[in-house]
Amino acid sequence: MNDFLSALAAIVGPKHLLTAATDTAPFALDWRRRYQGAPLAVAQPGSTAEVSELVKLCRAHQVAIVPQGGNTSTCGAATPDASGRQLIVALRRLNTVRHVDTDNNALTVEAGVTLQEAQQAAEAAGRLFPLALASQGTCQIGGNLSTNAGGVAVLRYGTMRELTLGLEAVLPDGRVLSQLQGLRKDTTGLDLKQLFIGAEGQLGLITAATLKLFPLPSAHATAMIGLADIETAIAWLNRLRDRFGDRLTAFEVMDAHCQQVLLRHHPGLMPFSAPWLALIELSDGGGAAELNDALANWLAEQDILDGVLAQNETERRKLWTLREEISESQRKDGPSIKHDIAVPTSALPRLVRDCSADLEAAFPGVRIVAFGHAGDGNLHYNVSYTRPGNADLFDDEDAVNAIVYDHVYRLGGTLAAEHGVGQLKKDWLVRYKDPLALELMRGIKRALDPDGLMNPGKWL
Amino acid sequence: MNDFLSALAAIVGPKHLLTAATDTAPFALDWRRRYQGAPLAVAQPGSTAEVSELVKLCRAHQVAIVPQGGNTSTCGAATPDASGRQLIVALRRLNTVRHVDTDNNALTVEAGVTLQEAQQAAEAAGRLFPLALASQGTCQIGGNLSTNAGGVAVLRYGTMRELTLGLEAVLPDGRVLSQLQGLRKDTTGLDLKQLFIGAEGQLGLITAATLKLFPLPSAHATAMIGLADIETAIAWLNRLRDRFGDRLTAFEVMDAHCQQVLLRHHPGLMPFSAPWLALIELSDGGGAAELNDALANWLAEQDILDGVLAQNETERRKLWTLREEISESQRKDGPSIKHDIAVPTSALPRLVRDCSADLEAAFPGVRIVAFGHAGDGNLHYNVSYTRPGNADLFDDEDAVNAIVYDHVYRLGGTLAAEHGVGQLKKDWLVRYKDPLALELMRGIKRALDPDGLMNPGKWL
């Protein structure tokens, strides 16, 4: 192993190879503190060429690689096992914005660029890179790609997969596949980038990407409305889309328990309460007053419980702060059994109704905090209380998950909408995912990574 | 072979198995009449279960399968070889619209449903399925998926790949992979549908798909403007997007030769001529007058050579007819060496200038007809005259292609933007595509179709 580490140090430079436990510790623990790994070392290559050399070296020594971006995975996807034999490859030094092609509405960045830095590079060119997540100051583009990240703007702009024009990736044999041209149409063969997006680093190491840019909106109109139930929310969503098309860039919902959590921690921010709240945002070119008037006029014609329209940027920020503070407020209230689920949007009402009823039957007084991206059929559905006297909420995790996921799959849904599978959900994946689909995925894994060295111990 | 055909007849029903040459003839010749195949037979299964049985039978007898939809491929992708040993599987009897989920904005159709029938099913539900092509009355959804079709609305809505939520496909071993749930977010593993989209039937047989629907626009505003050069067109495109965002649903350009062709065949339709023309369309919810005024006001502030804004649906149809009649008008003028190329939008001006100059140097007096989807960087770049006295224009096809594709690839482009590769471009693909990418594709082909029975003789 000393030979291996010396050769590795020669590739990335001695100061970019961390071996002392104190140095590797921040990389060895996942963001939610559920997985503690023990890596062989942490290598921080500074270029795609170094990544390529490193992968070839690992292959020669049969050392497994765990790629890591901003280490914000919520499912342990970037954390090594406890064997002390897996090498973390941290991509943070690949942090160059390589190219902004304004006329082509495309941005080429390396994997270690943070999401926020990518957003800023786009904005500096008068363009929008629309992916937006709570962790955007920390998470990196390589991680966003590897989990096919979602967030609050998917309704309008799609997930990371749909925002990607091309990739550069180091294959498990060390060769570099480069498809960064920024083409919007290309039917010359299979679309190989799709394999690496959402693969959680199990088929290769993404080193750079060319991403789609959009016009930078000059106007926003933001409102919060109260709704009697989730059915009404879906009806509103479709009426808003009929009227405003893709100017509707966000439609976020939160249930009554979610509002109580926010009231506890941000009492001054909540404008009102209702069985459900929806945060609505329109974006457009042209004037802000014009857009605000259009939304105000349309809202005036509707029959709503209660509503507030942001009159300026400060009020708009206040509404968005509510949305962004949900997770942190919940964390302050203690642990919760989290679900990142999606069903067809049309099935959301049934999911909410039937699943809550079954949870209540199994755990009388259960507390469910539900919020998320109704337009994508995606709810964060978190159970924060099951019964008195259970020392550890997570003692009930399996029972709660089985109820929730049974409902989700009965309705054609998924147990990992935008956060990935990683270590946290790999057993659940085997239980619920079509075995034929899993078999095909494993066949592709064998074809690309026959030695199984890319992020082993995850779901593939 | 008689055993095989008897067993096949038992699966699909005798009247749906065509073996006489007169019956199979329409399936054996491609749309552009460049490839004449000689199939063993034409099987027309009536359900996914029949397709599954058929594929298992073919595997047992090692009979190769050529899937065929509306037989409108421009590159021979759905035509068998001349061996008399390949079975055409025509999907036209899988023509059921299985499900319209209005609240989920999703439509599930079988592979043999024509594009126009899919559009109509969406419209009947008050929704838009936006893929739009010249052949939409004939081409089928399975073919649209297998070539990752593009068309005139990609700028706003994306290609067929981006319009697809899920697939049902029969694998080369006859098993059925079904992912028709209509989820907008799903990070449970690799996105297997991506493998089959654009694969030209070489990895399996698509039998159904769940497609994205959009609000049905209630307003259109359509204009044609004259532009001094292609650089100006790109600048206009970006200014229009800045102002109108995704209400800009089409931005189609045509060069001077293209206009001459149209003038010859549709003299009454051409409003005016200019070095380049751009056909612009905005779509929106809300009122038509409002949208027309917005475009008119904006155009009035711009500096343009010449322009016309459609004042009613008749005028709008006239402008679109011009666009739609280009191919047919060109066909009446005789053969042409066609190119379906794309480069980054920012590189279009250089492509047009440099490539035309090199063609002119090689073939003085060369006639190039260029038109297409500027917003996607995609031009149909057709050479209809090279030199006096060449009995067959296609004698110069290789020389012309080499000049065009050299320029395209120097600019990071592709030789098959939206029409696929098929038989026509498979040698060119090997010449220009990254060998590593081709090697990966072939590895995936081996993993999924080890016997090589799915549409052999194409590019994989």
Q: What ipTM was estimated for this complex?
A: 0.96
Tell me if chain B has a CB within 8 Å of the CB of A438: yes
Q: Compute CA A351 distance to the chain's CA centroid, rounded to the nearest angstrom.
A: 22
Tell me whether residue A114 is in a domain. yes
pLDDT of residue A303: 82
Q: Rounded to the nearest 10 degrees, what angle do helices B397-410 and B348-362 cross at?
A: 150
Residues of A in contact with B199 (CB under 8 A): 190
pLDDT of B396: 95
Are residues A165 and A249 part of one domain?
Answer: no
A419 touches chain B (CB under 8 A): yes
CA distance A436 to chain B (A): 7
Reading the block at residue A299, the tokens are 């809202």
User: B187 in a domain, yes or no?
Assistant: yes
pLDDT digits (tens, 9 = 90+) for A257-283: 999 999 999 988 888 999 999 999 999
pLDDT band (50, 70, 90) for residue A147: very high
Distance from CA of A23 to the nearest CA of B (A): 32
Interface of B with A in 158-217 (CB under 8 A): 158-159, 161-162, 171, 175, 177-179, 181-192, 194-195, 197-199, 214-217
Residue B13 and residue B44: Cα distance in Å, rounded? 9
- CA-based nearest distance A274→chain B, Å: 23
Residue of chain B whose alpha carbon sits nearest to that of A412? B181
Q: Tell me: do A211 and A244 sit in the same domain.
A: no
| pLDDT reported for residue B283 | 96
Task: Tell me whether A152 touches chain B (CB under 8 Å).
Answer: no
Q: Do A342 and B246 touch (CB under 8 A)?
A: no
Token pair of B7, please? 């067993």
Domain-located, residue B439? no
Question: What is the token pair recorded at A83?
Answer: 């064997």
Q: Is B234 on the interface with A (CB under 8 A)?
A: yes
Q: What pLDDT is recorded for position A305?
A: 79
Indicate if A111 and A200 belong to the same structural domain.
yes
Domain boundary among B159, B187, B215: B215
Confidence at A459, pLDDT banded by 50, 70, 90: confident
Residues 47-86 of A with CB under 8 A from B: none
Residues B311 and B371 in one domain: no
Closest partner residue to A186 (CB to CB) among B190, B192, B414 is: B414
Predicted confidence at residue B32, as pLDDT, reads: 87
Mean pLDDT for all residues in chain A: 95
pLDDT in tens, B356-411: 999 999 999 999 999 999 989 999 999 999 998 877 899 999 999 999 999 999 99
Domain finish residue from A332, A357, A385: A332
Is there a contact between B441 and A246 if contact means CB atoms under 8 Å apart? no
Question: Is A366 within 8 Å of chain B by CB?
Answer: no
Q: Does A392 touch chain B (CB under 8 A)?
A: no
Q: Are residues B224 and B170 in the same domain?
A: no
Is residue B364 situated within a structural domain? Answer: yes
**Cβ <8 Å between A189 and B459:** yes
Tokens standing for B239?
């200014």
A286 pLDDT tier (thresholds 50, 70, 90): confident
A301 is a domain residue: yes
Determine contact: B347 vs chain A, CB below 8 A: yes
Rounded to an integer, the average pLDDT of A19-35 is: 95
Question: What mean pLDDT comes out for the span A429-453?
Answer: 97
CB contact under 8 A, B103 and A421: no
**Helix/strand/coil for A202:** coil
Q: Determine contact: A450 vs chain B, CB below 8 A.
A: no
- Same domain for A150 and A52: no
| B286 Cα to chain A: minimum distance (Å) | 6
Cβ contacts (< 8 Å) between B195 and chain A: which residues?
A: 190, 194
Q: Are residues A204 and A103 in the same domain?
A: yes
Does B460 sit within 8 Å of A189, measured CB to CB?
yes
| CA–CA–CA angle A164, A373, A243 (5° rounding) | 90
Task: Report how many domains make up chain A.
Answer: 4
> Minimal Cα distance from A165: which residue of B?
B344
Same domain? B253 vs B268: yes
**B311, B332, B353 - which closes a domain:** B332
Nearest to B246 among A245, A286, A448 (CB): A245
Task: Choose, out of B184, B380, B449, the residue to mutate when testing the contact with A (most A CBs < 10 Å).
Answer: B184
Question: Chain B partners of A217 at a C-beta cutoff of 8 Å?
Answer: 245
* SS3 of chain B: CHHHHHHHHHHHCHHHEECCHHHHHHHHECCCCCCECCCCEEECCCCHHHHHHHHHHHHHHCCCEEEECCCCCCCCCCCCCCCCCCEEEECCCCCCEEEEECCCCEEEEECCCEHHHHHHHHHHCCEECCCECCCCCCCEHHHHHHCCCCECCHHHHCCHHHHEEEEEEECCCCCEEECCCCCCCCCCCCCCHHHHCCCCCCCCEEEEEEEECEECCCEEEEEEEEECCHHHHHHHHHHHHHHHHHHEEEEEEEEHHHHHHHHHHCCCCCCCCCCEEEEEEEEECCCHHHHHHHHHHHHHCCCCCEEEECCCHHHHHHHHHHHHCHHHHHHHCCCCECCEEECCHHHHHHHHHHHHHHHHHHCCCCEEEEEEEHHHCEEEEEEEECCCCCCCHHHHHHHHHHHHHHHHHHCCCECECCCCCCCCCHHHHHHHCCHHHHHHHHHHHHHHCCCCCECCCCCC
- The stretch A61-70 carries a mean pLDDT of 98
Residue A173 Cα, gap to closest chain B Cα (Å): 12
Same domain, A299 and A342: no
**Cα dihedral across residues B154, B157, B158, B161: positive or negative:** negative
Same domain, A227 and A322: yes
Top residue of A164, A181, A190 to mutate, by most chain B CBs within 10 Å, is: A190
What CATH number corresponds to the domain at position A407? 3.30.70.2740
- DSSP for A95-143 reads --EEEEETTTTEEEEETTSBHHHHHHHHHHTTEE---B-TTTTT-BHHH
The CATH number given to whatever domain includes residue A319 is: 3.30.70.2190
Q: How far apart are CA A76 and CA A424, in angstroms?
A: 6
CA distances from A229 to A263, A382, B151 (A): 20, 18, 40
Q: Which of B150, B161, B186 sits opposite A191 (nearest CB)?
A: B161
Using CA atoms, how far apart are residues B131 and B120, in angstroms rounded to an integer? 12
Domain holding B203: CATH number? 3.30.465.10
Range from A360-369, A399-408, B261-270 carrying the lowest mean pLDDT = B261-270
Query: Does A460 have pLDDT greater than 90?
Result: no
Query: Quick one: tokens of A98?
Result: 């390589």
Judged on CB neighbours under 10 Å (0-12, 13-18, 19+), B111 is buried
Chain B residue nearest residue A345, CA to CA: B104
CA dist A45 and B106 (Å) reads 44
- Find residue B164's DSSP bridge partners: B211
Q: Would B454 be classed as within a structural domain?
A: no
Q: Which of A338, A419, A345, A343 is nearest to A381 (CA)?
A: A338
Report d(CA A271, CA A426) in Å as an integer.
Answer: 40
Q: Do B394 and B366 share a structural domain?
A: yes
CA distances from A369 to A359, A383, B142 (A): 13, 6, 42
Percent of chain A with pLDDT over 90: 92
Nearest CA in chain B to A414: B186
Q: With a cut of 70, list the residues of chain B below it in pLDDT.
A: none
Q: Which residues of B touch A283 (CB under 8 A)?
A: 245
**Nearest CA distance, A19 vs chain B (angstrom):** 32
Statement to judge: residues A304 and A243 lie in one domain: yes
Identify whether A233 is part of a domain: yes
Q: A187 contacts in B (CB within 8 Å)? A: 147-148, 198, 414, 416-421
Domain that holds residue A273: 218-332
Is position B13 within any domain?
yes
For residue B11, the domain's CATH number is 3.30.43.10
Assess whether pLDDT exceeds 90 at residue A1.
Answer: no
pLDDT for A358: 97
- Rounded distance between C-alpha atoms, residue A193 and residue A387, angstroms: 46
Q: What are phi and psi of B215, to 5 degrees?
A: -60, 145
